[in-house]
Amino acid sequence: VFRFRGGLPGPAGTGNARELLWKLCGAGESGAKAQGSEKGVPEGFVKAAKAIKENVYNENGILCGAEKWPEEYGKLVGKRQYGVAGSPRFDFYAADYGWGKAKKLEALFIDDGAALSLCKSRDFEGRLEIVLSKPMPQMDAFSRVFREVLSELCCSSNQKA
């Protein structure tokens, strides 16, 4: 989780610090049920959500524990990882870092394709852009599954209304 830390120097926000959080879950935890968790919610998800909440409200220095980061990153090698960057509340297209507003947003991924980025839509008010980079067959599969799930969510919410 990268978190904006306001109040730092910079005329348009350039260079503001962000904080990195990762939590490791033991093998199998992502599929195990947590005690006291919602029915069917995996324990790994519950642990990650709690860790993110703690980090959001953490007022320690942004580099607190940085000396351990290389060792912690080493523990991630060979484990399943997912990354989400951005926020639907942050409007990348409205941000001006001193050279004008963006006309188009493109995200570069330096991982194995297990990351995606979120931001407000440039063209549609109240909508979201999801940026994902994968080979075309995987993109087609993602798109198909995403549309199906979105359709199910929309249909089920319409039936409840």
Q: What are the backbone dihedrals phi and psi of residue 152, each rounded to the nearest 5 degrees, phi first? A: -65, -40
Long-range contacts of 30-37 (CB under 8 A, 24+ apart): 30/80
18 touches 3 (CB < 8 A): yes
Measure the N-to-C terminal CA separation of the chain; round to a whole number of Å: 35
What is the pLDDT confidence band of residue 56, given thresholds at 50, 70 and 90? Answer: low
Note the pLDDT of residue 29.
46
Instruction: Locate the domains of the chain by residue range.
Output: 1-80
| 44 vs 30: CA distance, rounded Å | 4
| 79 vs 56: CA distance, rounded Å | 25
Residue 50, pLDDT > 50, answer yes
